[in-house]
Chains A and B, each alone.
Chain A
């Protein structure tokens, strides 16, 4: 009995041990599986977040590094990144750029992705207030949903800075948001940038970058009396550029535009800020290059060049009064 019992016991022990082992094994297998799944999910989330932020960084650079939202001219190297407060002179008065850091009180910290998409696409705050069109939602409305969400993810990844927004210094009625209902009715159609099947992928990428992300037209296209873009003069230059500066004619017109610039000239310019004659670039353009375009992949710069060389050449010599 003893041995039998012992055996039994043994076998019982063995069986118990086996069961336990099986149980333990299956438990550890299960926890291993659960652990692996959890790790995979976590890794996936991190990897996903990373690629979202990484993609967003490229969108950010394509916008010119959202340079208007940093007060480089007033505060130079000490300017808090993307915390706004930069005066933007327009023919309608002075407007101050806003805080787009992730600060919950003064920035975009409390915003959902949907809030951000609506602001960029419709020029409306989360509370439904109209934004002044000095914020170029007129162009950004052409950005794709994924690019907008990625851009927000990138902005969220940067340090939050507390700085309250300043009200505009523009005179009535331009400081009055209600006026903007009429302005939008006159001048704003959210744009959709469709792929042109007759053009190659490079041109289409360039079209998207120039029209939406890089929002070139906002400065380089002259405006109508009511402040809308004069599409018949697309990228033909403006004497009422940002901060009262000249914005060059960047159509391929030989004498008054950049018709004599080669594709390498254009790519080099957007990378280095150095013109074909060796001169440097001033003002906001040098900032959007330094904080934005220079960081874009070469293929994006070539796409911009390809698009710019394809648009109608418009003769427009810029002159100051």
Chain B
């Protein structure tokens, strides 16, 4: 018992030392550590904005791949995406260093490249909007593909891959 409690108390001491070290390391990075909690609603908002884009992409895909007879709908979804695209830059302006995001640090390391990716994305959405409202139905598929490519290009550069995604980690931690 004594021996066991000795081990336990020594473990507690060691744990305290490690915890103190970790905490002081955390303090060294200062206000940032403090701001994680505060910034979580911002991270959540960004994810919701992205889900809105994904929802519009998915809705357009539903129409096109199943050839649903809904004239004008693709153009509206494309327009929505172009509008939302303008919110992405401001929403990501603040660098929130937390694991609870799939945003890569490269966003803030190369902000100009990130902004360029967003403007390419917006332009592709506007192009799809115009094409979908135009008279050549065969041009809509390629315009959609071009828009999808801007999603992928930006995600490749600035979103963590699935194997690093915080969502996957959270699922694994549940086990």
Contacts and interface: CB of A to CB of B under 8 A. Distances in A.
Contact of A320 (B65, B144, B152, B169): B169
Nearest to B57: A278
A267 B58 contact: no
A320 B159 contact: no
Q: What class of interface size applies to chain A in its complex with B?
A: 20 to 34
A245 B65 contact: no
B58 A278 contact: yes
Nearest to A239: B163
Given A278-B55, A282-B156, A320-B168, A272 B162 contact: no
A321 interface: yes
A244 interface: yes
Contacts of A277: 54, 58
Given A268-B61, A278-B58, A283 B161 contact: yes
B57 A274 contact: yes
B109 interface: no
A273 interface: yes
Contact of A246 (B61, B141, B149, B162): B162
B175 A319 contact: yes
Interface in A240-288: 244-246, 264-265, 267-268, 271-283, 286
A274 B65 CA distance: 11
Nearest to A275: B58
B59 A278 contact: yes
Contact of B172 (A265, A272, A320): A320
A211 B88 CA distance: 41
B149 A319 contact: no
Given A319-B171, A319-B172, A282 B162 contact: yes
B162 A245 contact: yes
B151 interface: yes
Nearest to A317: B171
A245 B53 contact: no
Given A246-B162, A319-B175, A282 B59 contact: no
B70 to A, nearest CB: 15
B148 interface: yes
A272 B171 contact: no
B117 interface: no
Contact of B58 (A276, A294, A319): A276
A308 to B, nearest CB: 16
Contacts of A202: none
A290 interface: yes
Given A239-B163, A265-B65, A320-B163, A279 B54 contact: yes
B169 A272 contact: no
A299 to B, nearest CB: 16
A119 to B, nearest CB: 31
Contacts of A286: 152, 156
B155 A282 contact: yes
A260 to B, nearest CB: 13
B151 A280 contact: yes
Nearest to A281: B152
A267 B145 CA distance: 13
B161 A264 contact: no
A290 B149 contact: yes
A279 B53 CA distance: 9
Interface in B123-175: 141, 144-145, 148-149, 151-152, 155-156, 159, 161-164, 168-169, 171-172, 175
B64 interface: yes
Contact of B163 (A244, A276, A280): A244
Contact of A264 (B66, B152, B164, B169): B66
Given A268-B64, A282-B161, 11 more contacts: A265-B65, A272-B148, A274-B144, A274-B148, A277-B58, A279-B151, A280-B151, A280-B155, A294-B145, A319-B168, A319-B172
* 8 A-B pairs with the lowest CB-CB distances in the bound complex, closest first: A278-B58, A278-B57, A278-B54, A280-B151, A268-B65, A280-B152, A264-B65, A319-B172
19 contacts: A246-B168, A264-B66, A265-B65, A268-B64, A268-B65, A272-B145, A273-B145, A273-B148, A274-B148, A277-B54, A278-B57, A278-B58, A279-B54, A279-B57, A280-B152, A282-B162, A283-B161, A317-B171, A319-B171
Interface of B: 53-59, 61, 64-66, 141, 144-145, 148-149, 151-152, 155-156, 159, 161-164, 168-169, 171-172, 175
Interface of A: 239, 244-246, 264-265, 267-268, 271-283, 286, 290, 294, 317, 319-321
